[in-house]
Structure 1
Amino acid sequence: MRSTLLGVLATGAFALGAATAAQAQQSGAATQPIFDTGKNEYEAHCAVCHGARGEGNGPYAPYLTSAVPNLTTLTKRNGGVFPVVRVYETIDGRQRVPAHGPTDMPIWGPRYSAEIGEGLYDDIRVNREAYTRARVLLLTEYIYRLQAQ
């Protein structure tokens, strides 16, 4: 079950990234999306520690007890492959992965889930888990776009 879920997540994130890259190549800079949800999530929740460009130099980084990772080198440090599942699980944080070591980073899965409250959002019934996964995937895809070339 877990491996199937991870495969679906990896495929979904890859497809989303590929679609974004394809759209960017086809449309050019003049017609980029006005509202970039992944970027907005990053700027609202991650840039304070990781920096605007993901290099680990955010304004809050000097006050932390451990070094903030440079998110732009994840692919390079993983043999040229973006570690989709590891990034997703780190952001989500609800399922601890002992091999990834301890983390001082906030876990966003429970926070995103709590934002939905009782499952209602603007009078539309929302699946709490689907909402949480979508936000984590959007953020994961944006971090993919931050990778150094």
Structure 2
Amino acid sequence: MTRLTCTLALSAAAAIAPFQANAQSADIGAELFMDYCAACHGAGGKGDGDMANLMTVPATNLTILAKNNDGMFPMLKVIHIIDGRTGVRAHGGPMPVFGRVFMSAEPGPANPYGTILESRGRVMSVAYYLESIQE
């Protein structure tokens, strides 16, 4: 291959990689969402989960977050809500702090920061999933 062809191929791969990573994260996020969020927010994220009728404040329709934010998905705000940095009125304070729930009990022997990174990765995966279901 010529140098130009190699450069173009590497550039294309580098440009595509984040989208593939986000898609994989969204798949993982979908599983986490079903396990931790769907009871209130519903399987489709519309706020119609089985527990929603027991709430004093309706569960948020998570499919219109971008629509309600001038068409831009509020990624940082969503992350802060999931990990507990921002409270949610419907829960009488902070939503269940999934940043803590997602942490493993023990750090891995090879990486003492493993649990923190794993927890943040799970929070990001749920956020990417929510971004993927926007109407």
Report sequence identity in percent.
32
| One-letter amino acid of the counterpart of residue 42, structure 1 | F
TM-fit CA distance, 1:129 = 1.2
Alignment RMSD: 2.5
Query: TM-score, normalized by length of structure 1?
Result: 0.67
Task: After the TM superposition, list the runs of 4 or more consecutive aligned residues in structure 1 that deviate by more than 6 angstroms.
Answer: none
Q: How does 1:1-149 map to 2 (within 5 A)?
A: 16=18, 18-19=19-20, 36-93=27-84, 95=85, 97=86, 102=89, 104=91, 105-113=95-103, 116-120=104-108, 125=111, 127-148=114-135
Structure 1 unaligned spans of 5+: 1-14, 24-32
- What count of residue pairs does the alignment treat as equivalent? 114
TM-fit CA distance, 1:64 = 1.1
Counterpart-to-counterpart distance in 2, 1:73 and 1:136: 19
Counterpart-to-counterpart distance in 2, 1:124 and 1:44: 28
Counterpart-to-counterpart distance in 2, 1:112 and 1:89: 14
Counterpart-to-counterpart distance in 2, 1:112 and 1:80: 29
Structure with the greater alpha carbon radius of gyration:
2
Q: Once the two structures are superposed, what CA deviation does each residue of 1:14-55 show, in whole Å capped at 9, x if it has no partner?
A: x85x4368x7xxxxxxxxx7x921110011111111011110
Query: TM-score, normalized by length of structure 2?
Result: 0.74
Counterpart-to-counterpart distance in 2, 1:92 and 1:77: 21
Structure 2 unaligned spans of 5+: 1-16
Counterpart-to-counterpart distance in 2, 1:66 and 1:129: 32
